[in-house]
A = this chain, B = another copy of it.
Amino acid sequence: MKLTPAQLKQFDTDGYLFFPGLFDPAETQTLLDAVPALYARREAFNVRERGSDAVRTNFAAHLYSEPFARLGRHPRMIDPVQQLLDEPLYMHQFKINGKMAFEGDVWQWHQDYGTWKNDDLMPTERAMNVAIFLDDVNEYNGPLMFIPGSHKRGVIDAKHDLTTTSYPLWTVDHALITQLVERAGGKQGGIVSPKGPAGSMILFHSCLVHASTSNLSPWNRVAVYLSLCAVSNHVRRFKRPEYIAHRVFTPIETLPDDCLRQPCPVDLPWKNGMPASALETSLDELKF
């Protein structure tokens, strides 16, 4: 899968690319079927919604779940990101966000790179967000919302929101959101939200401002959000636990294209549990 010049230009302009139905229903189902057992685990890597038992985010499944380990090395995802960043990649974050029927809470407007910079000391924005829908996404189950072109604004000052939801986030202030939306076309295209069947993929720039509203519908909206970082741009601090921000900077090697359809051996370093070291954190800047 090679991105066309038109796609490269569109990514540069809008800050995202949408690939509806990139993974077929069988591939998607393999992933979705593995989610309930992961969400059921009472572990630090499952963050639950405020005032509810529903899982908001599961972290690092690619280290202990076989289907997600395969997804983390899938060429349909890795190849285009490698093309865009023009460098080998490592996995910086791997999340399965629940946004469960009736329970899924909002994610305030934010840039992901804000958190990676402030918390993880990632040197530049040379990292890519990937969203893979495990459920159909429609206007009612809390789709991702983007402000097209907002990645051009670069890194935005943010404030650390510790109260709105159960997961702390560096969020962007309202006056600036208003300005960015206006500049992107206001009510005509100033906000977009790619919707499509389970198996769709979005690649979006780590500075693209995004949010999602709560899910009041009876339809789960489970999605994998992962971030692939250029190896040379690896983080310089382990302030957050390893299950949130990874510490292994080895380049990802892709598996065959049919790796979600066929048996395919894959390494699962945390298959016997998360190592105690994954909870160790430090405020020191690392020297390399």
Chain A residues packing against B (C-beta within 8 Å): 51, 101-102, 106, 108-109, 136, 138-140, 142, 145, 163, 174, 177-178, 181-182, 187, 191, 193, 211-219
Contacts and interface: CB of A to CB of B under 8 A. Distances in A.
Nearest to A142: B213
Nearest to A217: B191
A230 to B, nearest CB: 31
Given A138-B187, A193-B139, A216 B145 contact: yes
B218 A177 contact: yes
A217 B139 CA distance: 14
Most buried by B among A51, A178, A187, A218: A218
Contact of A219 (B136, B138, B187, B215): B187
A118 B230 CA distance: 60
26 contacts: A51-B163, A101-B178, A102-B174, A102-B177, A106-B214, A106-B216, A108-B216, A109-B216, A136-B187, A138-B187, A139-B139, A139-B193, A140-B145, A140-B191, A142-B213, A145-B216, A177-B218, A178-B218, A181-B218, A187-B219, A191-B217, A211-B216, A213-B213, A213-B215, A213-B216, A214-B214
Contacts of A108: 216
B174 A101 contact: yes
Given A109-B216, A140-B145, A182-B218, 10 more contacts: A101-B174, A102-B174, A102-B177, A106-B214, A106-B216, A178-B218, A187-B219, A211-B216, A213-B213, A213-B216
Given A101-B174, A102-B174, A214 B217 contact: no
A66 B218 CA distance: 41
Contacts of A136: 187
A138 B163 CA distance: 28
Contacts of A212: 216
Contacts of A51: 163
A218 B106 contact: no
